[in-house]
Structure 1
Amino acid sequence: MARVRYLGHEPVTVPELNGRTVEPDEVIEVPDERFEGYVCQAANWEPIEEPGSKKKTAARPQKDEG
């Protein structure tokens, strides 16, 4: 998931996020495939973390004892 910050001065309801209310200066997670739909509205949203930028840690393989 990508992250964006809401830059508006009033809370806003985001239907795409199940009608969630986002407060001014709040950072929210949005689906990677929708990231561009938010940041293209530069007056309202600021990119914080681009899609795919989170480092995922792989689980370590278990050692066989025997």
Structure 2
Amino acid sequence: MARVRFIGPEPVTVPELGSRAVQPDQVVEVPDARFEGYVCQTTNWKAVEEPVRHRGEHGPKVVGFTGTEAVAPKKTTTKKEG
């Protein structure tokens, strides 16, 4: 779980957290998948602890090769017309 700090001026009720009341300057845990939904609200939330990224998550896709992709193409010769 990721952690964010509420930096708004007044307490808020957060339905996603079980209708929990969050006080100004309070740190709460949020689901990793929803972390960006909080920190994009820069006037209300600040990142404290980002979600743990697992290998391959949100990164380049791992591609497997069968072997045929790495084979150099056959050379072709063109007949010179003379």
TM bucket (normalised to shorter chain) is 0.7 to 0.9
Between Structure 1 and Structure 2, which shows a larger proportion of strand residues?
Answer: 1
With normalisation by structure 1, the TM-score equals 0.78
Point out where structure 2 has 5 or more consecutive residues left out of the alignment: 54-82
Aligned residues: 53
Instruction: Give the fraction of aligned pairs with identical amino acids, expressed as a percent.
Output: 68
Higher RCO (C-alpha 8 Å, min separation 6) = 1
Point out where structure 1 has 5 or more consecutive residues left out of the alignment: 54-66
Displaced runs of 4+ in structure 1, greater than 3 A? none
With normalisation by structure 2, the TM-score equals 0.63
> How far 1:21 sits from its partner (Å)?
0.1
Structure with the greater alpha carbon radius of gyration: 2
* Aligned-pair Cα RMSD in Å: 1.0
Higher alpha-carbon deviation: 44-53 or 13-22: 44-53
